[in-house]
Amino acid sequence: MPVYKAPLRDMKFLLNEVFDYPGHYQRLASGANASPDIVDAILTECGRFCEEVLSPLYQSGDEQGCTLTDGEVTTPAGYKAAYDQYAQGGWQGLSAPEEFGGQGLPASMGLLKQEMMGTANWSFSMYPGLSLGAMNTIFLHGSDDQKHTYLTPLTEGRWGGTMCLTEPQCGTDLGQVKTKAEPQADGSFKLTGTKIFISSGDHDLTENIVHIVLARLPDAPKGTRGISLFIVPKFLPTEDGGVGPRNGVSCGSLEKKMGIKASATCVMNFDGATGFLIGPENEGLNCMFTFMNTARIGTAIQGVGPAELSYQWALDYARDRRSMRALSGKKEPEQVADALIHHGDVRRMLLTQKAVAEGGRAMLYYAARLADHMVEGHTEGDLDKAAKYDDKLGFLTPILKGFLTEMGCEAANLGMQVFGGHGYIREHGMEQIVRDTRIATLYEGTTGIQALDLLGRKVLVMTQGGAVREFTLKIANFARKQLADKRLRPFAVELLKLTAQWNLLTVRVMLAARKDRDVVSAAAYDFLMYSGYVTMAYMWLRQSAVAVDKLANGGEDSEAFYQAKLATAEFYYERLLPRAQAHATSMLSPTRNLMQIDAEDMAFTG
């Protein structure tokens, strides 16, 4: 089985040469200790941990999966030792406040860590990843006592965290949540209900698990306005910060899944479990969005990660595997056949993977800068600053999650295709990447839900198209500056056309929706994918601009690295970006072609 190699050169290219993270960190209060030398050392050590510890567990974890015995979940062999090493290395608290035992580094440092971990072993990365969401929720909405009780052990990695939203009768429609929370005389609550699809719901990696749970108070209004948020620990904490008696929460069963089998996905039963209200009554959904936005950005990594991992392994295979001769003539006459990499169609697949991985990584790092400012606003109590950057990030979040995971699935499938019949065989690991990646378009909101959030909520309702106008203005201003360079001019001209079209499409959908509300749902997926292709095109122009400058004036690496950037950008603009026009056509298609068949007539009649 091939081994993951951390793409440190590309990561540093984006951090230091494209997005000026050193300058960005200097402007952050939390960035005082994030000097270039420190960041470089952290990336190098995290890469080593991922390559040497997490990657070797990727396939074995899938083979073994998790087991449930007498109500306790056991993770695959090697996971507990790897987690202990992770916790002892201080990785969980990388971006957590120093007052709770963290290192106080910017939030974006945590995302860089998560990218490498998630690419090396997505199942493993989900355990500490869910804890980060719980930590953020308690930090932003918890009382001082709750922060004192939970944040230090969570930051140290001694305790884990989850989010418990979904129930058997409802997934995305959380207005149907039925779990009850009965108030007690001591100020606590007794929670009763069942939650499903709970990642990291139970495991043997930490001494305690802190569940963040949505539930209803007895007199709560119906629908989403009547949901509150609660902290429900597996073991009740003691006054000295230790682990006390077992709470009334247990794992009823493990889901049998097609992928991420080493990640425990649990049915969790709350049987009069003691819980503690976090945030105001009946405003749990608003508080939970802190968790959800964190999770959705994290899930976007599962678009970039499999594209990177599948590309690495497919590239190695294509260099070594020989089949037939290239149509343009023999490339390796001394061999019985030419390597796969000399065939045009194989190159198409590999370059698609490369363009998605490196373009998606740039999208994540662009968004991570916004997240740094948002978190700093919350930390400093500057709610206006926090809201400003939350809005900017909120617009990009569904694009990141929806578009990148869809493209990650495509890239994973292409990697399997490069292997041909061998891609179908488990020992090569390619089919596992496909299975593990397929969930990414489903959990934390399906692609359709992300699309509705983007078009229906963020664009049409909240900003009346303003979010698109603001973002496209930024893109257009950058593109205009590149028109003078002959290598960048074709990219810049195309991007300027697309920014104008994006605004026009937004207006046309908005006007059509006034007459037919189904237009929003019918156009949403194509609007999201169009938005994703244009956003990635912006990222490729930014990378290309740096590459052109470095080739002219000298850079940190050989010319080959920068020439490859320009070549990949050209491939993206000429081979992948044209897909945006198909989405533009589809989103303006009338809803009649979706709605004219009655539901009864759609039934199978064979």
Please pick, among 444, 470, 494, 559, the residue that the annotation labels catalytic.
444
417 and 424 Cβ atoms separated by less than 8 Å:
no
- CA–CA dist 97, 366 (Å, integer): 23
The reply to whether 600 belongs to the active site is: no
Cα 128 to chain centroid, rounded: 14
Closest CA relative to residue 443, chosen from 102, 153, 199, 99: 199
Closest CA relative to residue 106, chosen from 391, 282, 368, 481: 368
Angstrom CA distances, 235 to 139, 143, 186, 196, 496, stand at 20, 19, 18, 20, 56
Return the structure tokens found at 154. Answer: 């969570």
- CA–CA dist 11, 21 (Å, integer): 11
Pairing of strands 159-164, 208-215: parallel
- CA–CA dist 307, 299 (Å, integer): 13
Q: Which residues does 357 contact at the CB level (< 8 Å), separation at least 6? A: 7, 304, 307, 308, 311, 411
Q: Which residues does 315 contact at the CB level (< 8 Å), separation at least 6? A: 341, 350
β-sheet bridge partners, residue 232? 211
For 120, half-sphere exposure in the C-beta direction (CA atoms, 13 angstrom radius) is 26
Q: For 571, which DSSP code?
A: H
503 and 469 Cβ atoms separated by less than 8 Å:
yes
At 256 the three-state DSSP class reads coil
**5 Ramachandran zone, left/alpha/beta (phi>0; psi -120 to 50):** beta
Q: Which residues are catalytic?
A: 444
